[in-house]
Chain A
Amino acid sequence: MNASLVLIVIMAVMYACGIFMLLERSMTRVLIGFLLLGNATNILILIMAGTVGIAPFVAEGVPAEELHDPLPQALSLTAIVITFGLSAFLLALIYRSWHLGHVDEVEDDPEDIAVGERDVAVEDEESDPQFAADTDFESEVATAPHADQNDRRTGMSGGSE
């Protein structure tokens, strides 16, 4: 299969820039990154068509080998339409996000922050034999493991800092 080096270089640069932009926090840049990646993929499809030929219209006296492969053109047309629709939706989303909070950034998930800031020691009640024995959540769990947890908490915080 023959492929144009220029197209390959263009595709590689677009992929690189696209991934770089997609990793940014600003949503507008994410959109640009998505557009670059989408178009790089379209170029990839065109590269996969192989040798460039003449326009694939069936006519008298034109041998099939000289025609360009029409299928990748159809595929990339479909892909372009889909990318177009989705980037319009992303734009609407960015506008809405800006409308709501005047921010154009991918925000941190509050739940993730909650997990991150959570005390490590409180979680592992499965390792506690007393808790495991006591499946109906009755009274004596409150006192003993609590002290145990406090001990562990100090131990853990020393370790993690």
Chain B
Amino acid sequence: MSFLLPLVVLLPLLGAASALIAGRRPRLQAILTVVALSATLAVAIVLLVAVDTGGTIVVEVGGWSAPWGIVLVADRLAALMVVTSAAVLLAVFIYTIGQGLADGDDETPVSIYNPTYLVMAAGVFNAFIAGDLFNLYVGFEILLAASYVLLTLGGTRARIQAGVTYIVVSLLSSLLFLAAVAMIYGATGTVNIAQISERIGEIPPDVQMIIHVMLLVAFGIKAAVFPLSFWLPDSYPTAPAPVTAVFAGLLTKVGVYAILRTETVIFPGGALSNVLMVVALLTLVIGVLGAVAQADIKRLLSFTLLSHIGYMVFGIAIGTVIGIAAAIYYIIHHIIVQTTLFLATGLVERIGGTTSLTRLGGLLKLSPIVGVLFFIPALNLGGIPPFSGFIGKLGLFIAGAELGTPLSYILIAAGAVTSLLTLYALMRAWNLAFWRPKAEADATGASEPGDEAAASAAAHLTEAPGATQTMTARSAPRLMTRATAAMVLLSLALTVFAGPLYEIAHRAAQDLDGPGAYVHAVLGSDDAP
């Protein structure tokens, strides 16, 4: 089975090359991209089954053995992440095709879009299966470079402006990461994650701490953890809807994944877990308070995205098997649900002509399907049972209660409040966009805030950011709606198959309980301590 592992990175890259060659024939290009992504998804599923039954798969690229050559490692966690992201990438791409077919090709330069999208996919997969830190850095760079292109696609003024912030911040985080890699090499003489894990105990504790903090800061910027998250709500909402959806779903989670690996394999002692707890607390609360104040659905969702990163960091900070298992389940849930919400927002933008809550109204009459497609993931994100958001949060809270420190109880309380406020923000958005009559929305938009009695619910939003953006309203193409519906079904499947999925997440967490399993798989028994 091990020959399949490099295919996860190779297939999207080959797809990108062929899509670039077919640049003048949009239809062929779209078919090539779909084939590449579907094949990757199929390979990923086979890999997950193989890894879950047969144990971690390690591939030594170029035939150089483990500590010297580059290794690709797929343990249960990596395989789960690859499957989830492949499914999301495919669904979002089909959504993009639907949008492109409806718009003609003048709005997005498709000939660049498809290859770039595939390159980003390759970068994401490469980061998930990287077995050494430098390969992880390269994976990050591949996906970031592709994301710079996707974010500034079309080169309009707003996108360039948002892109500059995003790019400069990402470049800085990459340089921090590279410097950390250099220092790790200086301290341990290797960049292989398993070997670092073996040797990290031998270096002085203060050097360990410096490296640990540098890695966490670099990954924290990518994961948008609180004090390092300022760039996200400024940059994400300006991109086209599918791009924002896939960024929101995947890119920050790659950062979270890297934090998870750092805390479990490289620095398994949990030396900074209290710091991570506090960071998680601030991320949760401040993110969601930002979400409550927004008047634009895309910005609102960007803030809930920030806020919910806190749950995953909380799970990682708990550090026990059930804590990590809950964090893994939550990451999968969040990738799928957050992407679905952004896709649904793209549909809202098409049928309503705007994502501004002060102008939207009466959409339920216009398109009940979109109403449902937004409503289900909104409830899910807010943590209403029986959806996966509830299961994930419950798992985290149980793990936190079992840990039993005062800080973890504070976090459980903050998590519950955050979940309620998320629900409040999303339900308010749904009420305003779908439930209230169109006439009231027009009244709020046109006249003084607070003039009409019922309009006052939206009145406080008229001065909020994003209150005025509009574009022409169009009908939502069937393919876009279907892709979103498929994502909603996938998010429901997280509930239906919660049992098996949670068991896999639990086994993945057991693999990560101490670095022993990972080190043993990569370096083999004879090198293990």
Q: Which residue numbers of A lie inside 8 Å of B, CB to CB?
A: 1, 22, 27, 30, 34, 37-38, 41, 44-45, 47-48, 50, 71-72, 75, 78-79, 82, 85-86, 89-90, 93, 96-97, 100-101, 106-107, 109, 111-112, 114-115, 118-119, 122-123, 125-126, 137-142, 146
Contacts and interface: CB of A to CB of B under 8 A. Distances in A.
A72 B186 CA distance: 9
B292 interface: yes
Nearest to B156: A100
B163 A93 contact: yes
Given A106-B165, A115-B465, A137-B431, A142 B182 contact: no
B181 A97 contact: no
Counting chain B CB atoms within 10 Å of each CB, the highest count among A1, A96, A139, A140 belongs to A96
A93 B167 contact: yes
A78 B134 contact: yes
Interface string B433-448: 0001000000000000
B466 interface: yes
A146 B141 CA distance: 51
Contact of A72 (B185, B234, B453, B454): B185
Interface in B148-162: 148-149, 152, 155, 157, 160-162
Interface in B451-490: 452-454, 456-457, 459-460, 463-467
B450 A146 contact: yes
B182 A48 contact: yes
Given A22-B172, A78-B138, A82-B141, 17 more contacts: A30-B168, A72-B182, A72-B185, A75-B185, A78-B134, A82-B138, A86-B171, A89-B148, A93-B164, A96-B155, A97-B160, A97-B164, A112-B465, A114-B467, A118-B463, A142-B450, A142-B453
A142 B182 CA distance: 61
The size class of the interface chain B forms with chain A is 35 or more
Contacts of B149: 89
Given A1-B186, A41-B179, A123-B293, A75 B191 contact: yes
Contacts of A138: 453-454
Contacts of A126: 292
Contacts of A86: 141, 145, 148, 171
Nearest to B160: A97
Contact of B463 (A82, A106, A114): A114
Contact of B152 (A45, A93, A107, A137): A93
A78 B191 CA distance: 14
B-side binding surface: helix, strand, loop or mixed? helix
B456 A142 contact: yes
A137 B465 contact: no
A93 B157 CA distance: 11
A45 B185 CA distance: 8
A38 B174 CA distance: 10
A48 B145 CA distance: 27
Contact of A45 (B141, B155, B182): B182
B460 A114 contact: no
Interface string B166-195: 011001100100110111011000010000
Contact of A100 (B157, B168, B191, B467): B157
B145 A41 contact: no
B373 to A, nearest CB: 23
Of the listed residues B148, B163, B164, B182, the one surrounded by the most CB atoms of chain A closer than 10 A to its CB is: B182
Contacts of A115: 293, 464-465
Q: Pick from A34, A100, A107, A142 the residue with the most CB of B within 10 Å.
A: A142
A12 to B, nearest CB: 12
A84 to B, nearest CB: 12
Contact of A109 (B161, B171, B175, B293): B161
Given A34-B168, A109-B161, A114-B465, A41 B450 contact: no
Contacts of B145: 82, 85-86, 89
Contact of B460 (A90, A101, A107, A123): A123
Interface string B481-502: 0000000000000000000000
Nearest to A100: B157
Taking each of B134, B161, B162, B171, which has the highest tally of chain A beta carbons within 10 Å of its own beta carbon? Answer: B171
Nearest to A125: B460
A47 B482 CA distance: 55
B164 A79 contact: no
A142 B460 CA distance: 11
A100 to B, nearest CB: 5
